[in-house]
Amino acid sequence: MNYYVEQNGKILLFDTNLERLANTILVIDSIPDDIEIKSTEDEILYRNDEFVFAKDVQDELLEDAKQECIKQISEQKESAFKAGFYFNETHFDCDDRAQIRLSAQLAIAQPEATIIWLDYDYQPVNFSYEEFVQMCAVATQVVSNIEFETATLLEQVQNAKTIEELNLLSIDFEKCLSL
């Protein structure tokens, strides 16, 4: 239960303890001693320098929660890219720069050549052309999985009608990295 006092349609103070609120009113000169203390089951929040009923700012709270969720998803996606992927038990990058380098190398690779590529720890790995194409295919699949899962989750965030729905959303980027 929340107890509160309002003046001119604005909540001045609130507390979950009626006696504490009454005592607080007595010591604040700007609040009349005879002001009516009201009670409500509704949640009261401090938002934008004022007390408000949560139900009155529900849409704003949901939009703020969605923006925070989108930010977290973006950070998780970037972390998944930075985590890289494994091909033939060797760890490789798949962040944006690695994707560009892989595409460029694949475009100029010659079928008869040995391709030397650096692993996640910058150690050289020798590939035949066919092995390199396979590694690029795995990298592309990992990146596609991450992007697809991200897009799906972002759509779910946009479609969420409540903060509770947002809190139920999650993504397991680890499954994107294992093929």
* 68-118 pLDDT, tens digit each: 999 999 998 998 898 899 999 999 998 889 989 999 999 999 999 899 999
168 sits in which H/E element: helix 163-168
Q: Please give the average per-residue pLDDT across 148-153, as a whole number.
A: 91
pLDDT of 178: 61
Q: How far is CA 134 from CA 86, 87, 98, 109, 131, in A?
A: 12, 9, 15, 13, 5
Q: Is the pLDDT of residue 21 over 90?
A: no
Q: What is the pTM of this model?
A: 0.69
Residue 146 tokens read as: 């991450």
Residue 75 tokens read as: 């950070």
pLDDT of 179: 54
* 125 pLDDT tier (thresholds 50, 70, 90): very high
Q: In the chain, what percentage of residues exceed pLDDT 70?
A: 97
What is the phi/psi pair of residue 162, to 5°? Answer: -140, 160
* 8 pLDDT tier (thresholds 50, 70, 90): confident
Residue 62 tokens read as: 């949901």
The 10 Å Cβ neighbour count of residue 52 is: 17
pLDDT of 26: 84
Beta carbons within 8 Å of 40's beta carbon, 6+ residues apart: 1, 2, 4, 53
Q: How far apart are the first and last CA of the chain?
A: 52
Q: Is the pLDDT of residue 163 over 90?
A: no
Alpha helices in 13-162 (DSSP H): 18-27, 58-83, 96-108, 129-159
Residue 39 tokens read as: 């009670």
Cβ–Cβ under 8 Å, residues 120 and 107: no
